[in-house]
Amino acid sequence: MDGRSEVPLRELNQQTSRVMARVAAGETVTITKDGVPIGDIVPHGVRDGIRTGRPVYALRIDPMGLLDIPDLGGPVLGDDELGETLRGMGAVDG
């Protein structure tokens, strides 16, 4: 089991304590209505034996996913050069 399951809304209404016990045990529960997911109940995290109060989510370093940026044949800029270029774009001549 991967720590995820689906529970119909009716079952959540009728067996809330049982569903919440599963969440407390670390399981993420997706609530469905007529077979369509409508929300998730996620367990709070534990770090070093202490509850953090934050939901446990899979680590995503890039929330937008992979970006397909075309190569336009321009110069390759390092971090410093890129930062300087971007700062220059915000400058106002006066």
Query: What digits encode the pLDDT tens for the residues 29-49?
Result: 999 999 999 998 888 775 555
Rounded Cα distance between 53 and 46, Å, is: 8
Of 22 and 4, more confident: 22
pLDDT of amino acid 82: 80
Rounded Cα distance between 57 and 66, Å, is: 19
- The answer to whether the beta carbons of residues 46 and 39 sit under 8 Å apart is no
H/E stretch holding 5: strand 4-8
Q: Say if pTM beats, i.e. exceeds, 0.75.
A: no
Q: How far is CA 29 from CA 54, 71, 78, 92, in A?
A: 16, 42, 44, 52
pLDDT of amino acid 25: 85
pLDDT above 70 (res 10)? yes
Q: Tokens in use for 81?
A: 């050069």
